[in-house]
Amino acid sequence: MSSSPPFALFNLPYVPLSIILNTMNELQIMKVALTSKKVYKLSKMLRKRRTEKLELNVSICNYSAIEIVTEDIYETLFLVQELSEIQEDLRIEYLKIGDTVVQTQKPEDRGEIIYFYFEDHFIGIQILSEIVSDFFSVPIQFLDLREEVIDPRRVFNWIMSRQNSVADFKYECKEANEEDLKYFLDNCEITNELILGVPNGFQYSFKYPMNLERVVLIRSSWMTINNLFEINPRYLDMSETRFTNEDMNLFVRNWINGGHWNLRTLILLIEQLDFHIILNDIPFVWRETPDDFIYNLAYEEYDIRGTEPVIEIRNVNGVIGWIMLHNDVENSFTFYIWPDWEGKPYPLEPIVQ
């Protein structure tokens, strides 16, 4: 009994082909599109743009990854490694990209992820990022760079040359060259979120205020009070600092006088937190919050119970802020500013004049 010939999907007329392609999710259609230039062009042309936002994320470290994110999907699409990392017990398949023949593998225990192997894995991540970015017509949204990268400036220059800016950037390095770090902060245009972990001996003066949505400093004892005055994100989280209570008194005074106009949330740690020093000569009122009250943050909900007292202060423009007294983390200075992240107005009748 003879077997039936394979079904030639891309010989179908455009209408039924479009219907079939648009039943696929982003992971499936991207993998189909890589099979040939003709399939890529047809898949891109016939794919309907989805209403939900699609993001392209790139990680570069010992192994590099390309991820796509939608409302329904947060998946790694490709992993990119050096040729020396090829797994000898797995079948190798070959894919021609331009003039380059690339070796690929698909480990059974990694789901639908495809491994790509290049002599220089950074060249590989560039090539594949351009393909995915072009196919979905989106820029790279998030770039995650780790300390294993030998030449980080090569990465900085690449991302800035291909799209001028990047929305979200994470850069972690315990022993990075200080000049590389300064080059990164001086030249990388970030528009939404920065997550930064740098050596504690690092010294820097910010060249622009970083009016970003979110800044998280993983190792932040290098930050000075002048650094704090130089930046102005909506959300600022510093897991360790060398700030003193006197420094935070200066910060509160600066905010009261109209500084940090973009700030909505500040979370940082101070050794030997002392509110008497922080609030010295600061006009404030002790307040009790309503029962079952929730201050909505951008990334979580912080439940402020009615029995939890807060310190209420107001700036020269009438904006109200709360300094939290009781936190789960010892010596945590936490400052919330109204309205909250969902636009909820201040719930209490203000007292501070």
Domain boundaries, the chain: 266-352
Q: Specify the DSSP class assigned to residue 260.
A: -
Q: Strand 166-172 relative to strand 140-146: parallel, antiparallel, unpaired?
A: parallel
Separation between Cα atoms, residue 210 and residue 262, nearest integer Å: 10
The string of pLDDT tens digits covering residues 131-140 is: 999 999 999 9
> Using an 8 Å Cβ cutoff, are 146 and 130 in contact?
no
Q: Is the predicted pLDDT of residue 319 greater than 70, yes or no? A: yes
- Looking up tokens 């560039």 gives 126
pLDDT band at 261 (very low <50, low <70, confident <90, very high): very high
The string of pLDDT tens digits covering residues 224-257 is: 999 999 999 999 999 889 999 999 999 999 999 9
Q: What is the pTM of this model?
A: 0.88
List phi, psi (to 5°) of 241: -145, 170
List phi, psi (to 5°) of 282: -105, 125
The pLDDT value recorded for residue 329 is: 66
The string of pLDDT tens digits covering residues 114-136 is: 999 999 989 999 999 999 999 99
The pLDDT value recorded for residue 333 is: 92
Q: Which residues pair with 310 in a beta bridge?
A: 287, 324
The pLDDT value recorded for residue 302 is: 60
